[in-house]
Amino acid sequence: MPAPDQPPEHPSRALVERVVRWFDGARRDLPWRAADRTPWGVLVSEVMLQQTPVVRVEPAWRAWMERWPTPSDLAAASTADVLRAWDRLGYPRRALRLQECARVLVERHDGAVPDDEAALRALPGVGEYTAAAVRAFAFGRRAVVVDTNVRRVLARAVGGVALPAPSPTAAERATATAVVPHDDDAAAAWAAASMELGALVCTARSPRCAECPVRDLCAWRAAGCPGDAHAHRRKTQAWHGTDRQCRGRIMAALRAADAVQGRDALGAASPDETQVDRCLVGLLADGLVVRTPEGYRLPD
């Protein structure tokens, strides 16, 4: 017990300290966490990890960084090569934004990733989360890093609910900000540790509560592990037969081709010809495909 003249320890302090201590022994050995990581490497990892699991990102990240270890290298690359290297990571517009980001870094920041939040937010494809993650993981700065995993950890441990609402709320943001330590090093450690806890232990479907370092502090467990109050609001994303699948097949065909592909050659992307045409229009609008008199190809 604390001495009579000392206030009791704030619950969030114990939460942070235990999760960080757990992380010291449980953290995955990922290349963008290595001691020789670069801010550019961290930024690339964060863009690749958006909606894509680590197991798919790690080999792609290694190949990418070997080929384009600096923003200047990527800025000078052909867009077709960039899209081929992105391969099946999904959402290939992220690859275009990453190359645009590299060009802006060369033009405005002498080819270096800035550590200022406003400057990071001004980069193509960099939003609030990515800017905060780069500040924390690349520069060791205090930032409020809140991804899906962190939201879930805080929803359970602090909020006492099974899962957070489908969209972030102002109350969530206030909670996340209040929990982050004021010290740069401690804040950066908490950002990485809380994210890892959500990814490995406090998972969405089958949380491994017996292995959780803060199970006795968890408000959700204290409440009896109630069910997901927002289950009826959550959308399930279909894949088979969707435009996303069709677009992916068109992009895969163009990445594999050594020459321009005619419209007939791309028809195998879907049995629905109207869907193929609709997806080609969308890919053209997104700058992922170029149309020529002979057919379609990746942009130069």
Per-residue tokens: 179: 């929990």
Half-sphere exposure of 209 (CA within 13 A, CB side): 15
Gyration radius of the chain over CA positions: 22
Residues 228, 165: Cα–Cα separation, whole Å: 9
Q: Closest Cα to residue 192, out of 39, 56, 27, 13?
A: 27
Per-residue tokens: 246: 């069709």
291: β partners: 296
Residues 221, 215 contacting (CB under 8 angstroms): yes
Catalytic positions, written as ranges: 46
Backbone angles phi, psi at 112, to 5 degrees: -115, 150
Instruction: Classify residue 37 by its DSSP letter.
Output: -
